[in-house]
Amino acid sequence: MGIKEAHYIWMDGELVPWKDAKIHVLSHVVHYGSSVFEGMRAYKNPKGTALFRLKEHVDRLFNSAKIYRMEIPFSVEEIEKAIIQVVRENNLESAYIRPVVYRGYAELGVNPFTCPVKVAIAAWEWGKYLGEDALENGVDVMISTWRRMAPNTFPAMAKAGANYMNSQLIKMEAIINGYVEGIALDIMGFISEGSGENLFIVKDGEIYTPSLGSSILLGITRDSVIRIARDLGIKVNEQRIPRELVYVADEVFFTGSAAEITPIRSVDRITISNGKRGPITKKLQEELLGIAEGKKEDRYGWLTYI
Ligand code: PPE
């Protein structure tokens, strides 16, 4: 257990030794959750190490900051370069990368404007998010009693630290009840997403996934899966999804940078189909990871070599 420490963390323009990458305990973010962040992966490839969809992750980071009126004191290009630098200088062949933008130390009180906007980027080796055999055998999940935030409470499109207090409630409830993960419903009672993943359903050869109107994070893996599926000739429906459609689905899976494409084998102890990874899930895994790991052509221009 524990994070696999690398050598350096990028902080506000400099590489700092891992153990020195610290902030003050009275930083605004510690008290009020004032941060936005990203999570992305770099994959070991025959041609070197490649970042998966760098541009889209950095764009989303800047959009999350914009929603929260945080001005990032670096340009998009500077952050992209810094991410590449962190992976390279830590000699990581494959990595999970965590850029975080946060309100630092100056004053306390809810008003965030008085506190500086700081940036840190860390990278380390992170294995399979939902367990070592999850990608093949799938995971058992529950529908959470916690809902995802209502649209006029927290903006779901922003990947903000504070949203993950809701995610923690979902995750803890799932673990305590013997599940790997929880799926939250939206405020209307339709399917929203997992604590750290988007959700997909396969039914009668078509794919269904909740739309932006169901308080989801607009996942980059979600977008990758939708594009690959459509190019394979599979119809993808972004729409409201009632809970019971999950129970009677042919295949259900999670997507996320950390979770990649993780099959779900049961929901609320109801077995999905025969409880095995389905053929469309498998095909999408092969295509997505095939591109990321350089086994398939990078036909969408998703890779940035470091
Ligand atoms: N919804 C939520 C709530 C979420 O946190 C993630 C990513 C996604 C959907 C999928 O988005 P994307 O990674 O762009 O496909 N969750 C990140 C953090 C997980 C964590 O435990 O920390 C991740 O996968 O990196």
* Single-letter residue type at 293: E
How many other CB atoms sit within 10 Å of the CB of residue 156? 23
d(Cα 98, Cα 264) in Å, to the nearest integer? 26
Phi-psi region of 184 (alpha: psi -120 to 50; beta: other; left: phi over 0): beta
d(Cα 148, Cα 145) in Å, to the nearest integer? 10
d(Cα 306, Cα 303) in Å, to the nearest integer? 10
219 lines ligand 1 (CB under 6 A): yes
Provide the pLDDT for residue 130: 85
For 67-115, write each residue's pLDDT tens digit.
999 999 999 999 999 999 999 999 999 999 999 999 999 999 999 999 9
Closest C-alpha among 236, 154, 248, 232 to residue 198: 236
Residue 187 buriedness (CB in 10 A; 0-12 / 13-18 / 19+): middle
Interval between CA 289 and ligand 1 midpoint (Å): 17
Q: What is the DSSP string of 69-92?
A: T---SS-HHHHHHHHHHHHHHTT-
Structure tokens at 251: 């295949």
Residues labelled catalytic? 159
* Single-letter residue type at 181: E
Among 198, 199, 214, 302, say which to mutate for ligand 1: greatest number of ligand atoms within 8 Å of CB.
Answer: 198
For 147-189, write each residue's pLDDT tens digit.
999 999 999 999 999 999 999 999 999 999 999 999 999 999 9
Among 257, 262, 284, say which to mutate for ligand 1: greatest number of ligand atoms within 8 Å of CB.
Answer: 257
Closest C-alpha among 94, 116, 110, 124 to residue 23: 116
Closest C-alpha among 192, 195, 232 to residue 210: 192
Q: Mean per-residue pLDDT for 7-30?
A: 98
For 192-232, write each residue's pLDDT tens digit.
999 999 999 999 999 999 999 999 999 999 999 999 999 99
Q: How far from 31 is each of 27, 28, 34, 149, 270, CA to CA, in Å?
A: 7, 6, 8, 20, 40
217 lines ligand 1 (CB under 6 A): yes
Provide the pLDDT for residue 128: 84
Mean pLDDT of the chain: 97
| Closest ligand 1 atom to Cα of 96 | 25
DSSP H helical segments within 194-242, as ranges? 220-231
- 60 near 220, Cβ under 8 Å? yes
Residue 1 has pLDDT above 70, yes or no: no
Q: 65 falls in which pLDDT band (50, 70, 90)? A: very high
Q: How far from 282 is each of 75, 107, 228, 262, CA to CA, in Å?
A: 38, 51, 13, 10
d(Cα 61, Cα 38) in Å, to the nearest integer? 6
Which residues, 6+ apart, have CB-to-CB distance to 48 below 8 Å?
305, 306
